């Protein structure tokens, strides 16, 4: 059998089998890669596995990843949710639909802490959503706002997924962070505009908060003070990277120190909290290391089997326009992330896409940011977007049909933003 066909067959059959057995995605890919190495190269191929493990685990860029994960864990466990909701609630005015805006604002701030759409969705469903419903806000609108806000998490820095993509695609972590700011803010503004327009057209979607009392100056100052520690940590991390004051590794470590200070200020710093944060960070980092190792092996398998060369030759032969090729490459992760999670999509597509990028008339960093947004869009798109099922699990008393209907406007908002960014990729370079 042709090596390329053998590789495809091994990966496809193996992955489908392991997925059916509910084996974790990163473990499935690692096992399939090892099997492909053995069948294509024999026992000597495991030397490549050892070299990949050594080069992956000793990469200096890798240090930023567990540090950013630990920073988010400490901030989250240091009473971040309650503080964010309370402080933001005081700062937002008494206009109709204020809790919708509160929801998207809190979720945007939370995005910088978690970096995970699933994590943000679960936290928001248990904190902001019940308050919306208690005050009589429309169920569909409330669910849609939470999903749209949660899906900003992978885009807005410091995003763990952005770090993983940067490492796997061999682009600058700093550039990925800075390129994600404008898209994240663009989508945030579009969602806020949609909320205000929708409420103006349908006042019944949002009741007037009869019990709203304008906060005093002292209360406003207190609210700003509550937000300040988070702002300083996140702003310091992103700002130090943006202005070249520190490398991503240095900023991540400084972010951990800042998170520890924040936890101490809010009296949440204790041995139990640190144990849980370190445990979660260790598990996540181990998973990411397996992901990176799998991707490295997959890249080498594609090269050894001739698949990478075949892809480049095929692209040259068909002579597809860069615009059409970009559209196809963006459509694939969108569809794939409706079936698989983001990690699986990255493992499959990044090694395949990397040799194609030279044929596109687009900055590589801008491409990978579009790729990241596309994966997030797929994760929130019916019928199988996994963020939707996280919301279902967290809320409980709502049908999937209701959630599907609620998320459609926000899917369209993300699509519109993606189209704007793809048409004007220089927007992602404004802060770089």
pLDDT category at 187 given cuts 50, 70, 90 is: very high
The residue among 72 and 166 whose pLDDT is bigger is 166
pLDDT digits (tens, 9 = 90+) for 153-164: 888 887 878 888
The answer to whether 108 and 156 are in contact (CB under 8 A) is yes
Structure tokens at 178: 């800075």
Predicted confidence (pLDDT) at residue 387 exceeds the cutoff of 90: no
User: What crossing angle do the helices spanning 322-336 and 400-423 adopt, rounded to 10°?
Assistant: 160
Global confidence as pTM: 0.81
Helices (H) and strands (E) in the chain, counts: 19, 0
Sign of dihedral through CA atoms 110, 113, 118, 119?
Answer: negative
Q: In the predicted model, is pLDDT for residue 326 greater than 60?
A: yes
What are the structure tokens assigned to 140, written together?
Answer: 């569909």
Q: Where are the domains of the chain?
A: 3-429
* C-alpha to C-alpha distance for 82 and 126, rounded to whole angstroms: 11
C-alpha–C-alpha distance, residues 20 and 181, integer Å: 38
Query: Taking residues 309-332, what's their average pLDDT?
Result: 77
Residues 217-242, mean pLDDT to the nearest whole number = 79
Q: What is the mean pLDDT of residues 264-288?
A: 83
Check residue 122 and report its DSSP letter. H
**Cα separation, 366 vs 171, whole angstroms:** 11
Mind listing the pLDDT tens digit for each residue in 35-64?
777 777 777 666 666 666 666 666 666 777
Burial label, 11 (beta-carbon count in 10 A; 0-12, 13-18, 19+): buried
Of 173-187, 205-219, 353-367, 380-394, minimum mean pLDDT range: 205-219
Q: Tens of pLDDT along 194-204?
A: 999 998 888 88
pLDDT attached to residue 370: 94
Alpha-carbon distance 66 to 57, whole Å?
A: 12
CA 341 from centroid of its chain's CA atoms: 11
Calculate the average pLDDT of the chain: 79
Tell me which residue has tokens 């940590």: 233
> In the prediction, which pLDDT does 7 show?
63
Would you say 285 and 69 are in contact if contact means Cβ atoms under 8 Å apart? Answer: yes
């Amino acid at each position: 059998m042709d090596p390329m066909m053998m590789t495809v067959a091994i990966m496809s059959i193996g992955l489908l089998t392991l997925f059916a057995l509910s084996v974790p995605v990163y473990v499935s890919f690692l096992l399939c890669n090892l099997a492909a190495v053995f069948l294509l190269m024999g026992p000597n191929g495991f030397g490549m596995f050892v070299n990949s493990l050594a080069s992956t685990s000793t990469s200096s860029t890798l240090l930023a990843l567990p540090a950013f994960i630990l920073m988010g864990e400490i901030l989250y466990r240091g009473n971040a949710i309650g503080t964010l909701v309370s402080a933001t609630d005081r700062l937002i005015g008494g206009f109709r639909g204020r809790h919708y805006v509160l929801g998207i604002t809190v979720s945007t701030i939370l995005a910088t802490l978690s970096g995970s759409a699933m994590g943000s969705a679960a936290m928001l469903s248990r904190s902001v959503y019940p308050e919306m419903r208690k005050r009589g806000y429309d169920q569909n609108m409330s669910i849609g706002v939470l999903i749209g806000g949660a899906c900003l998490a992978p885009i807005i820095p410091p995003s763990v997924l952005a770090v993983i993509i940067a490492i796997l695609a061999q682009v600058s972590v700093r550039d990925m962070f800075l390129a994600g700011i404008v898209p994240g803010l663009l989508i945030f503004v579009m969602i806020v505009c949609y909320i205000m327009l929708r409420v103006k057209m349908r006042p019944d979607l949002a009741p007037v908060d009869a019990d709203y009392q304008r906060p005093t100056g002292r209360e406003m100052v207190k609210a700003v003070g509550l937000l300040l520690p988070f702002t300083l940590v996140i702003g310091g991390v992103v700002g130090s990277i943006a202005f070249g004051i520190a490398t991503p590794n240095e900023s991540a470590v400084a972010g951990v120190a800042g998170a520890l200070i924040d936890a101490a200020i809010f009296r949440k710093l204790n041995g139990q909290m640190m144990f849980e944060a370190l445990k979660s960070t260790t598990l996540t980092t181990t998973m990411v290391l397996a992901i990176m190792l799998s991707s490295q092996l997959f890249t080498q398998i594609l090269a050894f089997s001739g698949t990478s060369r075949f892809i480049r030759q095929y692209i040259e032969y068909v002579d597809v326009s860069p615009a059409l090729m970009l559209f196809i490459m963006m459509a694939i992760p969108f569809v794939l992330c409706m079936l698989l999670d983001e990690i699986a999509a990255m493992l499959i597509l990044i090694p395949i896409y990397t040799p194609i990028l030279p044929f596109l008339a687009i900055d590589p960093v801008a491409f990978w940011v579009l790729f990241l947004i596309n994966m997030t869009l797929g994760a929130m798109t019916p019928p199988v977007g996994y963020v939707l099922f996280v919301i279902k699990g967290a809320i409980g008393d709502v049908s999937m049909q209701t959630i599907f209907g609620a998320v459609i406007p926000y899917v369209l908002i993300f699509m519109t933003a993606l189209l704007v960014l793809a048409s004007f990729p220089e927007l992602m370079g404004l802060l770089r």
